[in-house]
Chains A and B, each alone.
Chain A
Amino acid sequence: MTEANSKPEGNLKSGSALERTYASGQFVVTGEIGPPKESSFHHVEMYGQGMKGRVDSVNFTDNQTAVTRLSSWAASVKLVQMGMEPNLQVVCRDRNRLAIQSDLLGAYALGVRNVLCLTGDHQAFGNHPGCKGVYDVDSIQLIGILKRLRDEGCFECGEECKHNPKFFIGCAANPFADPFEFRVVRLEKKIEAGADFVQTQCILDMERFERFMELVRERGLHKRIYLAPGLMPVKSPKMARYMQHGVPGMIVSEEFCQFLEKAPNGKIAALDLTVNYIKHVQQIEGVSGCHIMAVAWEEVVPLILTKAGVLPRPFAAFHDNPGVITDELKALWKKSGVEGYVPELM
Chain B
Amino acid sequence: MIVAEGKPVEKILEMIAPYKKVLIAGCRGCVTVCLTGGEKEVGILASQIRMARSKDGNPIEVLEQTEERQCDAEYNAKFLENVGKVDAIMSLACGIGIQYLGEKYPLTPIYPGVNTLMLGANIDVGKWEERCFACGDCVLDKTGGICPIARCSKSLLNGPCGGSQNGKCEVSAPTKEDVSCGWQLIYDRLVALGQVDKLKEVIPAKNWLRAKGPRTYVREDLTLDRS
Residues of A within 8 A of B (CB): 92-93, 97, 119-122, 124-125, 129, 133, 135-141, 144-145, 156, 172-174, 176-179, 182, 185-186, 188-189, 192-193, 201, 246, 248-249
Contact = CB atoms under 8 A, between A and B. Distances in A.
A192 B158 CA distance: 12
Contacts of B163: 121-122, 177, 248-249
Contact of B155 (A135, A140, A144, A192): A135
B165 A248 contact: yes
Contact of B170 (A129, A139, A186, A248): A248
A185 B198 CA distance: 11
Interface residues of B, number: 34
Contacts, number: 107
Interface in B144-158: 153-158
B154 A141 contact: no
A239 to B, nearest CB: 17
B164 A137 contact: no
A133 B205 contact: no
Interface stretch (B52-60, B97-105, B171-179): B171-179
Given A178-B160, A179-B188, A189-B202, 19 more contacts: A93-B154, A119-B154, A120-B154, A121-B163, A122-B171, A124-B175, A125-B173, A135-B156, A138-B161, A141-B158, A144-B205, A156-B205, A177-B160, A178-B184, A182-B199, A248-B168, A248-B170, A248-B172, A249-B162
B160 A138 contact: no
Contacts of B170: 121-122, 125, 248-249
A225 to B, nearest CB: 15
A209 B154 CA distance: 26
11 contacts: A119-B156, A125-B170, A125-B173, A125-B174, A135-B156, A136-B208, A141-B205, A177-B161, A177-B165, A178-B184, A186-B158
Interface in B74-123: none
B156 A249 contact: no
A174 B161 CA distance: 9
A185 B166 contact: no
A188 B160 CA distance: 14
Nearest to A193: B202
Given A125-B174, A156-B205, A185-B200, A140 B158 contact: yes
